[in-house]
Amino acid sequence: MSVGGLAQAKGAESPNGVVDLDLEAKQQWFRIGGGRALLYGYNGQIPGPVVEARPGDHVRLRFRNSLGEPTNVHYHGLHVPPTGSADNSFLMIAPGEEFTYEFDLPAWHPGGTFWYHPHVHGLTARQVSRGLAGVFIVRGELDRIEEIAAAPESILVLQDFDLGADGVAQEPDLMERMMGRQGGLVTVNGDVNPKIGIERNGWIRLRIVNGSASRFYRLHLEDHPLQVIGVDGGALPSPEERDEVLLAPGERAEVMIRGSRPEGSYRLLSLPYDRGVMGMGATPGNLRGGTMVLATIVYAGQAGRSWDLPRYLAGVEALPEATILRRFSLGQGMGMGIGGGMQFTINGRTFDANRVDTRVRLNTVEDWEFVNVTGMDHPMHVHTNPFQVLAGNGVPMRAWKDVVLVRAGARVRVRTAFRDYTGPAMYHCHILDHEDLGMMGRLDIQG
Ligand code: C2O
Ligand code: CU
Ligand code: CU
């Protein structure tokens, strides 16, 4: 059985080591969730075209902004320069303008599931929540493992939309922005509850991307364990069996599922998750979502053979001890502006592109501690260099991450090495309304 409705279109592959792609951001009418919706798409698609590359490839992406507002393209999780015509989130492409992004993936870039989306401060949540997101796959270690490569692969981009009765995307009010906008229409690759086929005794491989502006997904598949083989930026050393996988905005997971149950249909659910309260006395609403059906796994056919996953997947390097520990306090406070809405801060300050908040040296290793003093979860993301999350015993977990969930009232440490590239980069909360409302800092990597 084929994968029903899942966007498998390959936007760009790299036969000769060059990924060449034209990409246009534009507002138009889409058919989504059985109705019409006025949203933003890349190349007329929601989500945008899948880009596939290999380590060492040269990427050339001719971008055209056909929106009525400035935008740009950020390559979330890729280890490429944060400057020039590479992953430069300080750039703004004006309406009607074109810009050619061009960069090389290093030859040792980890394979993984990355993605691209707009990154103009103040407009990011609006543009992502209207549909602008696309997957950027780097083929690597996992793809060379026969037991994994033998399984049919599907990409699941999770997005939610807030549409009016007329199908027009709604702008949230200030309160919704403070909590982080969530839309009632939840889609996988632009479809409501698509079907994914599985052979009895066979395996399927899912690359799941949380492309929502603020919504969390607590993934659970009825009667089937999820074998997690990869997280944000790459492979795990060995498969980890989980009953559920939580994906905060910006996070990805790669999971294998075995068709080990009686024939039938099994729902991939998102279970309720409480991401906190606004705090400051009054609680205008909690941030809980109900159980939702994301997709349905349908048995069809029988695998010709049955096989197990290998215990060993990939080597993930151990980072050396850090020389510096930095703390980032995640806060919120009342803004000075009109309306006096809430602002989100890092170390007491809101984002200013012209102020350097953190200076680091190239070729050093640092530990960063995020301290969440608010009542709401903040998934923190750092551009350019991935990190490893430090476990309670201070030992880095062997997995490259670029988003780490810092729960309400919690503190989390990550270890990162600044490699290859100098220049200004960014770190921020990936609840994109929080980023737009100030929870972002500028990081300068100096040579
Ligand atoms: Cu996916 Cu700076 O973001
Ligand atoms: Cu990013
Ligand atoms: Cu946040």
Flag whether 435 is in a domain: yes
The Å distance, Cα 94 to ligand 1 centre, comes to: 20
Domain ranges, residue 294: 146-302
Measured CA to CA, the distance from residue 403 to residue 215 in angstroms comes to 14
The Å distance, Cα 383 to ligand 2 centre, comes to: 5
Using one digit for the tens of pLDDT, what is the confidence trace for 45-82?
999 999 999 999 999 999 999 999 999 999 999 999 99
Region 348-377: mean pLDDT is 97
* Same-domain pairing of 293 and 186: yes
Closest to 419 (Cα-Cα) out of 44, 79, 73, 63: 79
Using one digit for the tens of pLDDT, what is the confidence trace for 149-186?
999 999 999 999 999 999 999 999 988 999 999 999 99
Count of CB atoms situated within 10 Å of the CB of 327? 12
* Same-domain pairing of 256 and 354: no
CA 76 to ligand 1: nearest atom = 1
* Same-domain pairing of 344 and 287: no
CA 77 to ligand 1: nearest atom = 1
For residue 344, give the amino acid letter.
Answer: F
CA 427 to ligand 1: nearest atom = 2
Ligand nearest to the CA of 406: 3
Of the residues 101, 117, 138, the one at which a domain ends? 138
Ligand 1 proximal residues by C-beta, below 6 Å: 74, 76, 117, 119, 250, 381, 383, 426, 428, 430
pLDDT at residue 288, rounded to an integer: 57
Using one digit for the tens of pLDDT, what is the confidence trace for 298-336?
999 999 999 999 999 999 999 999 999 999 999 998 766
Three-state SS at 338: helix
> Which residues lie at CB < 5 A from ion ligand 3?
378, 429, 431, 434
Ligand nearest to the CA of 128: 1
Region 384-390: mean pLDDT is 97
pLDDT at residue 7, rounded to an integer: 44
Q: Count up the domains in the chain and report the number.
A: 3
Q: What is the DSSP letter of 431?
A: S
The Å distance, Cα 434 to ligand 3 centre, comes to: 5
Residue 219 contacts residue 245 (beta carbons within 8 Å):
yes
pLDDT at residue 8, rounded to an integer: 43
For residue 335, give the amino acid letter.
Answer: G
Measured CA to CA, the distance from residue 351 to residue 435 in angstroms comes to 8
- Domain of 361, CATH number, reads 2.60.40.420
Q: What is the pTM of this model?
A: 0.95
Residue 252 contacts residue 211 (beta carbons within 8 Å):
no
Kindly calculate the radius of gyration of the chain based on its CA atoms and give it in whole angstroms: 21
The Å distance, Cα 250 to ligand 2 centre, comes to: 8
Flag whether 313 is in a domain: no
pLDDT at residue 33, rounded to an integer: 83
Residue nearest ligand 1's atom 3 by CA:
76
How much of the chain exceeds pLDDT 70, in percent? 92
* Same-domain pairing of 152 and 292: yes
* Same-domain pairing of 166 and 290: yes
Average model confidence (pLDDT) across the chain: 93
Flag whether 10 is in a domain: no
